[in-house]
Amino acid sequence: MSSITTQDAPRGFSASEYMTCLTGIVWREGLRFLHQRERFVSALVRPLVWLFIFAAGFRQVLGISIIPPYETYILYEVFIAPGLMAMIQLFNGMQSSLSMVYDREMGNMRTLLVSPLPRGFLLFCKLLAGTAVSLLQVYAFLLIAWFWDITPPPSGYLTVLPALILSGLMLGSLGMLISSGIKQLESFAGVMNFVIFPMFFASSALYPLWRVQEGSPYLYYLCQANPFTHAVELIRFALYGQVNWISLAVVATCTIVFMIGAIYAYDPSRGLARRGPAGGEG
Amino acid sequence: MTSPAPIAEPRETPRSDPAAVPALSIEGVSHSYGPRRALMDVSFNVQPASFTALLGLNGAGKSTLFSLITRLFGIQTGHVAIFGHDIGENPGEALRLLGVVFQPRTLDLDLSLTQNLLYHAALHGISRREAAARSAELLTRIGLSDRAGSKVRDLSGGQMRRLEIARALLHRPRLLLLDEPTVGLDVKARADIISHVRQLVTEQGIGVLWATHLFDEIVAGDDLVVLHQGKVLAQGPMSRVITEAGAQDVNTAFMRLTGAQTMPGGSA
């Protein structure tokens, strides 16, 4: 057949075509997000409820000693702020996965997957787009929290950015990996129960791990093994201009593993193929 | 396969002739979902500048075939090539030449017509400026330029289909697949879409594969592939398929072909 194909010699794709594709996907995700105002509001209200109500109530119950990266005694609100930032990204990652299930059921996913660019690249763009949306949400939260006396050093707003990008990618790719295994939208309630809640509560988002260790050593080990704990700690340290190297290593490794898993799961000859006809079979 | 057709067959030129690279070539494709076999040894070609109707009832395997051609599913057995580019080995080059309109609607309802087109163009690496120009041109062509900024949600079913076809043409493909594009449309919208697609064949030389179960969408001169329960029962120019089935029209030919398959021991 090779002699026949001379008229259409493969020309591959240029760097600018890749860039156009990436910006197009991020742009579309941003537009969709702006159109779903309820999603933005609920993404903001959720952590604010925790901050204004839960933290205020819990302040007296839980004493926080001086632990790195904090150099003084801190209010409980200050302690849980990084956890809530990670929570925003956790929800956003799972919500993106929900929208991928929705897209797949509705057929929108096909528009993306029939693009001639490599599928791994397309999914990576999708992850970056989801992460960009989560950054908008986190910074909006930080702005409001500032008025609630959550005032990290000004440079912290900048140093936390790479941490947020990495944790956003990790949670997004986890969501994408999960979405490849979900057949229907209804299963999202299961994701809430079995992924979001355990990940959030069995982590250092709400309580320092040394307190957990006092209560239950087993829970402590579970929290240590939870990638979400490390996303929280990475963000917490970065917000104060420091690097938690262990957390960085865990988050980076998990990001790579989840991302490879998600790309593998969306490979046409494996993931989706096993699942029978998608959408209207004719 | 009784008597050979009396009509001359200009399209069945030998494959060594470079002019005869089929727009779409499907060779020995089989596909199973677990134990259920959806496609069995399917082979046929779609030539450039031709209108090929893929005729089959619901569940015949049309959508599975479309998913294989568009690489949504991996190919288990056989080969699919678009203008000679194997979809498994060289998906980028193959998909670049392919435009597709899926049966379920795949537009972003909350985005405007132009935004939908620009997104699709970006997925094909078409620069923003070029994409804007092409979108405007295509919207004019489908008579929706005055709606460019409205949300897709506000369009009628027929308008959405026209937009989807315009979108599929944005990257200037040379093969266009349409999976039952007229389902759920009224008579006028159906006629509009059919004539639009036929124009693409004659004016732009695009090869079209049109999946349908509606016999009145096929006209003399079309190529026909009859797919039933995952098997190709007949293929070729419409007149030949009808003659070979010993029928007078497509409808009867189809009933004879498929009836013979479904009744055990039935004679062809």
Count Cβ atoms below 10 Å from residue A101 Cβ, excluding itself: 23
Last residue of a domain, one of B155, B171, B187: B171
> Which token pair is A72?
């003084």
Q: Are B16 and B188 in contact (CB under 8 A)?
A: no
Cβ–Cβ of B21/A4 closer than 8 Å?
Answer: yes
- A24 and chain B in contact, CB less than 8 A: yes
- A-chain residues within 8 Å CB-CB of B125? 13-14, 16-18, 20-21, 116-117
- B213, B236: one domain: yes
Residue B188 resides in a domain: yes
Contact check, Cβ <8 Å, A277/B97:
no
pLDDT at B160 over 50: yes
pLDDT tens across B57-77, in order? 888 899 899 989 998 888 899
Domain count, chain B: 2
In this prediction, residue A275 carries a pLDDT of 47
Taking the C-alpha atoms of residue B187 and residue B158, their distance in angstroms, rounded to an integer, is: 10
pTM above 0.90, yes or no: no
Considering only alpha carbons, which residue of chain A is nearest residue B106? A108
Asked if A106 and B93 come within 8 Å (Cβ–Cβ), the reply is no
* pLDDT for the residue numbered A270: 55
Contacts of A24 in chain B (CB under 8 A): 118-119, 121-123
Is B78 among the domain residues? yes
Is residue B71 within 8 Å of B95, Cβ to Cβ? yes
Q: Has residue B1 got a pLDDT over 80?
A: no
Distance from CA of A277 to the nearest CA of B (A): 7
Is residue B2 assigned to a domain?
no
Whether residue B115 is found in the same domain as residue B64: no
Q: For residue B262, is it within any domain?
A: yes
Burial (0-12, 13-18, 19+ Cβ within 10 Å), B228: buried
B28 and B73 inside one domain: yes
Quick check: is B231 in a domain?
Answer: yes
Mean pLDDT, all residues of chain B? 86
Same domain, B86 and B184: yes
Other beta carbons within 10 Å of A123? 23
Domain containing residue B201: 20-97+173-266
Q: What is the mean pLDDT of each run of 10 residues along chain A (282 residues)?
A: 44 89 93 83 89 82 74 85 95 82 72 88 92 94 92 94 97 88 69 84 88 87 94 96 95 95 76 43 34
Q: Does residue B48 sit within a domain?
A: yes
Percentage of chain B with pLDDT > 90? 59
pLDDT of B189 reads 86
C-beta atoms of B59 and A21 within 8 A? no
pLDDT of B261 above 80 = no
Range 119-158 of A in CB contact (< 8 A) with B: 122
Residue B147 confidence (pLDDT): 93
Q: How does DSSP assign chain B, residue by residue? A: --SPPSS--TT---TTSGGG--SEEEEEEEEEETTEEEEEEEEEEE-TT-EEEEE--TTSSHHHHHHHHTTSS--SEEEEEETTEETTT-HHHHHHTEEEE-SS--S-TTSBHHHHHHHHHHHTT--HHHHHHHHHHHHHHTT-GGGTTSBGGGS-HHHHHHHHHHHHHTT--SEEEEESTTTT--HHHHHHHHHHHHHHHHHH--EEEEEES-GGG--TT-EEEEEETTEEEEEEEHHHHHHHTT-SSHHHHHHHHHHHHHSTT---
B165 and B178 assigned to the same domain = no
pLDDT score recorded for residue A212: 84
Q: Is the pLDDT of residue B5 over 50?
A: no
Query: Which residues partner with B232 through β-bridges?
Result: B227
Predicted pLDDT of residue A194: 83
Same domain assignment for residues B197 and B254: yes
Q: Is the pLDDT of residue B112 over 50?
A: yes
Is B58 inside any structural domain?
yes
ipTM at complex level:
0.81
Q: How far is B39 from chain A (nearest CA, A)?
A: 12
In a domain, B220, yes or no: yes
Same domain, B117 and B234: no
pLDDT tens, position by position, B178-231: 999 998 888 888 898 999 999 999 999 999 999 998 888 988 889 999 999 999
B113 and B245 share one domain = no
Among partner residues A8, A27, A35, which is closest to B85 by beta-carbon distance? A8
What is residue A61's predicted lDDT score, i.e. its pLDDT?
66
Q: Are residues B124 and B58 in the same domain?
A: no
The CATH code of the domain that includes B237 is 3.40.50.300
Residue among B41, B92, B31 nearest A275 (CA): B31
pLDDT value at position B16?
Answer: 42
